[in-house]
Structure 1
């Protein structure tokens, strides 16, 4: 495996001060004060010096200035703050292994941080919503230091973990290929979404993004760099994909690609009747009527009830557009409201960018966001949705939305991405963008109430959501028969228990 050609160096900076080591007594980086000041922290000799562990030699940099630590102490959800003691900006994959090995020896927690977004460095952030990628008192690894697209060949891409799906999409399109399952918002890191699953409109055909992975390079909690696939180191492969960063940090991935099509015909179907909506969503999915299929629920204009939308996409080339009448045949939607939008495949892939720009301009992007993502068995989805819709208000959603669409559970092949125990499930994805001043504590209590009800009805959760008060018993119930497997993998690959503590799975 090729590595960065950057010169070997270690730069650890506090407020204009170099770090001389890790203080094993105080559990903090010991910094050397500037020459003009008295050396109040850096020990000269004796027992204090014995407490210092020299920092590892790195190709990149390890920084500990207050501004950087504060930025890595928050995330997209803005609900939890847990600042690290240092941030690694790796200059190579080897840096991650070196740092994790050092951290294991000194019991320093470590987490990879995807630093998603499109703006300046100050505007980038973890896209978790409840502190899952934060590492209080530990070391955060800035995934943007691993941002190389190593190669794209027919049907395959090899990328480092910090590459965004947007960069990969454009690079693949330039060669006539496309990732088979894309998240709705593309400016997320590959390593980040593979650590939790990675869901989007292609889920009915391809499963999660984790289901399109051929192999990964992983730094385990022991500091080993291991290549894992379905045929090599399979236990690690299955434990790390969708595993929430508990057994290893993904640093590189080999992903499947599919042939890109030129255009996307988007069909929007509207329903005022929940039962008809659920039946038609399942019908068109099982008939494979669309290449991509999502949907959402929203309060109607009068605020007196809910309206449901199927969004189906058919990709095609040239002038060979699909038959529009055939696409809506036999469905019970409100026919007069049906719309068709014909655009390029790339325009559809980037459709969320304009909405994100609006939210940022309105100041809502940086507000606390109590998101919650659930997977429900089809047999109880209507019950859950009727109860949830009676509870949710427009104030809960704010400028956000509620994604709501079906999937086949047999397309999910990675053991750590647990699903309801039925052939068909529905994704209930509450993406709130509340206005300033909203009661976020009440929203978190609502999330917990909805989560508990979903579990009663056979549902599961997605790892990025904001659900408070989860206990070990909750996690055991979540993983079900796979809990023992999750625990065994944690003990084997992260015996010191230092990786990604923000998830709270094994705490």
Structure 2
């Protein structure tokens, strides 16, 4: 049974042959076999034994038109990643069956989040992390049911988005405590990488709000896991990049609904003052939401910093704005203060998404870079970034940077700098349409990554850093790498899950 990746010609030839109903996989020819072909000769076209596809409650798609949307992702940097089949699961047993089928036939398998808005439904990995070229992709939309919303928790399918959960919980007077900045992401996908948003300083990462998981391991076992039931599996799934199990369902925290928010956008001319105020409000906890951004100045001659903080309230009990701003040293004349529904704040990027789509930016290659910086070195690194980056390097994108307490982050594979406070550095590029220097931006990412790591930084498991080696990942995970390898061997012994991450070479 060959481990080699077949040629594009063979792949496309195999796809063309699947207009008829597929009945199995021919391990000899590394193609799908139709009913007519499997009836010839010795069980398949070109000879070889055909392994019958198991009976499914859902659908296994194998035609070219059905596979094409799974051949690239949001980042548009990996575009030749066509799977050989897409499973839209109709039940848990479908996932179990196809994982076992993949194992038996030496095929890779990975979940594709398939989230977004309107007709733009896609994987939101940015460098092929969810790709499974020549393997089986699982469409998470088959796992998009909200099962229950209770007084303290909600149980949802992995394909449900945080936006869908937010809107379903609101009529019950509930909300998730932590959400990503862009809510139209699948819950399973964000839990696989950690998940971060503006409430990290208060609630930690999204993985820190998970009570339990229902998963299918790479060994084909359906398992419920939690901090007290198979904790080694629980800890290897959350922030583990899809290496040990496929998430079917998650039970996550919900809290009482916050109706409104006063959002303060405060501006700073220098990084030192920005960091001092950011760490001040983080320490005293006066805000529910805390984010921040490195922006171009209004005259586009340099950089400035924006501290974005929010105080939430219900009814008419609006917070005291003067008290909230006491002791801060921003350029107060530039401050922008808005009172809005908390839902409108959480969905604030919808307008930006609409603009990026209308102007073509959304559909360009996007070399993102996401890091966690130790607070003691954040100023040094941000000064490096100021000198290195230009307006063109951002395009229509964003550069988020703000502090949070590492003690709030409990899941071991969401590895952090070894300091009480760390800073997110999230370079979310949307290059200008037709930008010729995408490769140069990727090389810039590598330079910034190497410098940040030399200062004690860690990666967030999204973004695009070229030439990541097993040595790089071993250094990233540090003393948790050996335990991660053990979990991989224990729960995915054939090594079939989510090859796009490349953690193990």
Give the alignment's TM-score, normalised by structure 2: 0.95
Match of 2:303 in 1: 306
> What pairs with 1:15-414 in structure 2 (closer than 5 Å)?
15-32=18-35, 41-46=37-42, 48=44, 51-81=49-79, 82-120=81-119, 123-414=120-411
CA–CA distance in structure 1, aligned partners of residues 313 and 57 of structure 2: 46
Asked if 2 retains the 8 angstrom alpha-carbon contact of 1:76 and 1:128, the reply is: yes
Three-state SS of the structure 1 residue aligned to 2:117 is coil
Between the aligned partners of 2:433 and 2:105, the Cα distance in structure 1 is 42
| 1:69-124 deviation per Cα after TM superposition (whole angstroms, max 9, x unaligned) | 2210100000002110000011112211110011111111000010011112xx21
| Deviation, structure 1 residue 137 | 0.3
Q: Which residue of 1 aligns with 2:469?
A: 471
Per-residue CA distance 1:277-307 (angstroms, 9 max, x = gap): 0111011001101001001011112332211
Q: CA deviation at 1:51?
A: 1.3
Gaps of 5+ in 1: 1-11, 33-38
What's the CA shift for 1:506?
A: 1.3
Alignment partners' CA distance in 2, 1:427 and 1:235: 27
* Corresponding position of 2:450: 452
Any unmatched runs of 5+ in structure 2? 1-14
What residue in structure 1 maps to residue 11 of structure 2?
none
Q: Is the 8 A contact 1:13 1:19 kept in 2?
A: no
CA shift in 2, pair 1:325/1:14, >3 Å: farther
Superposed displacement of residue 252, structure 1? 0.4
What is aligned with 1:3?
A: none
Aligned partner of 2:480 in structure 1 is 482
Q: Distance in 2 between matches of 1:14 and 1:158?
A: 41
Alpha-carbon contact 2:42-2:49 (below 8 Å) kept: no
Root mean square deviation of aligned Cα: 1.3
Misfit runs of 4+, over 4 Å:
12-15, 47-50
Q: Is the 8 A contact 1:14 1:66 kept in 2?
A: no
Q: Work out the number of aligned pairs and report it.
A: 487
Tell me, yes or no, if the aligned pair for 2:245 and 2:492 is still in contact at 8 Å.
yes
Q: Deviations over 1:157-184 (max 9, x none)?
A: 0011111111100011110011010111
Structure 1 residue 50: Cα displacement: 5.0
Shift of 1:45: 3.2
Aligned residue number for residue 432 of structure 1: 429
Distance 1:64 1:268, change over 3 A: same
Take 2:43 and 2:135, find their aligned partners in 1: how far apart are those partners? 24
CA distance in 2, matches of 1:196, 1:131: 14
